[in-house]
Amino acid sequence: MANTGVRNKAIERYLLTYNVLSSLGWGYALGGTLTHLYREYHKSSEPSPLTRLRQAGRSVYASGMGKFVLALEGMAIQEIIQARKGWVLTSASTVASQVFARLFVLIYIVERSVAVSPPARPVTGLTITRISTDITNVRQAQNSSGYALLVCVWALAECTRYPYYALLDLSQNKRPSTAIGRLTALFQYLRYTTFIFLYPLGVGGAEFTLFRKKLLSLDQLKAASTLEKLDTGIVFLALLAWPKGALIYV
């Protein structure tokens, strides 16, 4: 997070530590994901480069990045508190909307599994089918190549944002001509220009991952339970909500 007016030394040290650790974490996520994609791409025997890349992307979650990225984004909840306390020059509502939108994709779509209690009586074939379908949808989201795109884009964005904030803290009272001043200016440029193409790519990755949930058809909805209808409605609304960010380009 960017710095604000008057802060005591403890808060400054905390924010600097948070930004440095977040930079390292997202740097690891980006490096690990790209390394995995490179390795799996060259393992594939598919003739089409695009097919090989898509196949490589489908195993990013299982490579260990899934839980790690979730932990990183969970750590970002601190940023809501930072904004709420006035330690940074960012709206708490803006931060909260971004953090919870990402957590929605990671938890509700990618991580969510079906909690099935042992039935008190024999279950019907329809119940088994519904449980199986839900589990399949969760796995499809985890094995989506859109998830790999989403992680790469988020990591690239955060690898410019957090270092910029850390350098901003370090460059306090420094002249722009110093090494830290020049590096801060570079990351500031990257922070506000890479966003132009990273945002639509990130939305595309999120949308593709959401689509992997496979929304129920109208005929299926008629026979679905209330919980299944609610689940379909939530995912459908999420699909509509993500692209509205395109208005920032108007």
Quickly state the pLDDT bin for 28 (edges 50, 70, 90). very high
53 belongs to a structural domain: yes
For residue 118, tell me if it sits in a domain: no
Q: What is the pLDDT of residues 147-178, one digit of tens each?
A: 888 899 999 999 999 999 999 888 775 666 67
Q: So what's the pLDDT on residue 120?
A: 41
Looking at residue 16, its pLDDT comes to 93
Span 85-112, average pLDDT: 87
Check if the beta carbon of residue 35 is closer than 8 Å to that of residue 27: no
Predicted local distance difference test score (pLDDT) of residue 38: 93
Give domain status of residue 1, yes or no. no
User: What per-residue confidence (pLDDT) applies to 245?
Assistant: 53
Residue 200 lies in a domain: yes
The answer to whether position 163 is within a domain reads yes
Residue-level pLDDT at 170:
83
CA dihedral 150, 153, 155, 161 (to 10 degrees): -130
Widest CA span in the chain: 75
Number of domains observed in the structure of the chain:
1
pLDDT beyond 90 at 199: no
Q: Is 117 inside any structural domain?
A: no
Higher-scoring residue by pLDDT: 240, 102: 102
- Nearest residue to 2 via CA among 191, 171, 176, 164: 164
Q: How far apart are CA 214 and CA 224, in angstroms?
A: 14
- What lies within 8 Å, CB to CB, of 40 at 6+ separation is 55, 56, 59
> Given a cut of 90, is residue 230 above it in pLDDT?
no
Q: Which residue has the higher pLDDT, 125 or 201?
A: 201
pLDDT number for residue 215: 59
Q: Which is more confidently placed, 226 or 160?
A: 160
CB count within 10 Å of CB 178 equals 11
**How does DSSP assign 193-242, residue by residue?**
HTHHHHHHHHHHHHHHHHHTT-PPPHHHHHHS-HHHHHHHHHHHHHHHHG
> If you average pLDDT over each of 48-62, 123-137, 198-212, which comes out highest?
48-62
The secondary element (H helix, E strand) that includes residue 110 is none
pLDDT for the residue 182: 84
- Integer CA distances (angstroms), 49 to 52, 149, 151, 201, in order: 5, 16, 20, 20
In a domain, 36, yes or no: yes
pLDDT at 128 over 70: no
Q: What is the pTM of this model?
A: 0.75
- The average confidence (pLDDT) of the chain is 77
Question: What residue numbers bound the domain in which 72 lies?
Answer: 9-112+123-249
d(CA 116, CA 18): 38
pLDDT higher for 126 or 229? 229
First to last CA, the chain: 26
Residue 3 lies in a domain: no
Phi/psi for 131 (5° steps) reads: -60, -45
**pLDDT tens readout for residues 37-84:** 999 999 888 888 888 888 888 899 989 899 999 999 999 999 999 999
- Give mean pLDDT, residues 111-125: 45
